Amino acid sequence: MCDSYINTNRKRSPVPAVEAWAIEPIWVQFEALLPPHLETHPWGCHNPRIPDRVVFDKLVAKLVFGGSYTKHADATCSATTIRNRRDEWIATGTLNKLEQIVLTAYDQTVGLDLADVTVDAQITKAPCGGEATGKSPVDRGKLGIKWSRLTDGNGIPLGCVVAAANRNDSPLLRPTLEKLGRFDLALPDAIRVHLDAGYDSKTTRELLDELGCDWHIQPKGEVIAINHTRRWVVERTNSWYSRGFNFTAICTERRVAVINALLSLMTAIIVIRRLIREAWTTHRWESRTRRRP
């Protein structure tokens, strides 16, 4: 019975990591950002270069399904090739440029709500350790990573700061809010920052006054339903990351540069999904599907 079940599973078509309607525009833009490959072998007799699209799909599958690079390697692409190509893209800043272009496209098409921004932290398991790990206060002291995430008023992720899981939320607030300046956006005159009780301190208020921001901070010890605040959007965004990408549930990367680059790719996928779904009712384009995604 077990063998029959296994054989039946093998006959099934593979489940796509990301829907075609979302990943295709990402790949088109990503391919346009890739610098031309220069052949450096003196004789030119080595194995043909693995196509970038093959490696890109493997990398996206790792983010979605998790596991090691070896798990996603096969006859078409080895684990070493995935890691080497990933490092090439990190060195050229291609993944970071992709995130910025997608956010700019969303702002031009739908519009970012920067009058009300939200910051919240999320903790991820990091069993392999690394540069940005610490003892997790919510997981019996096991190693973990904290993501301090910034979103606009509708939950669109604008930036994230990676730190050790045992870092307090308040010291991460300044570098997180500084992510607003990365995208050369026209900021409104008045920005209201929505925070939970973990940021309820004099230091946080002095920082927000210094930055010229208004704030709405949930007082410590006071229970307020999250659906009665503007903070629910960042909780939904955290769910987009943790439920859509196994990478943010268990992070096995050790270098901060790699984590930030892969985070940029995940953000680009999330934002392009929202862009297509929201623009489907207001815009038309050649490859627009008949049914709303």
pLDDT in tens, 45-104: 677 889 999 999 999 999 999 989 999 999 999 999 999 999 999 999 999 999 999 999
- CATH of 113-253, picked from 3.40.50, 3.30.420, 1.20.120, 3.30.70, is 3.30.420
- Identify the pLDDT of residue 4: 35
Confidence of residue 6 (pLDDT cuts 50, 70, 90): very low
- pLDDT score recorded for residue 210: 92
Which of the two residues, 173 and 185, has the higher pLDDT score?
Answer: 173
- Work out the mean pLDDT of the chain and round it to a whole number: 87
pLDDT digits (tens, 9 = 90+) for 136-181: 988 888 999 999 999 999 999 999 999 999 998 889 999 999 998 8
For the chain, what are the domain ranges?
Answer: 113-253
d(CA 285, CA 165): 44
Q: Where are the beta strands (DSSP E) in 132-196?
A: 134-135, 143-151, 157-164, 192-195
Q: In sequence order, what are the beta bridge partners of 143?
A: 135
For 29, how many CA atoms within 13 A lie in the half-sphere containing its CB? Answer: 20
Write the pLDDT tens digit of every residue in 111-132. Answer: 999 999 999 999 999 999 989 9
Confidence of residue 280 (pLDDT cuts 50, 70, 90): confident
Residues with Cβ < 8 Å from 260, sequence gap 6 or more?
A: 96, 162
The predicted pLDDT at position 45 comes to: 63
Instruction: Find all residues with CB under 8 Å of 197, minimum gap 6, and list them.
Output: 217, 218, 219, 220, 221, 222
- Lookup result for tokens 């990933």: 86
Percent of the chain topping pLDDT 70: 91
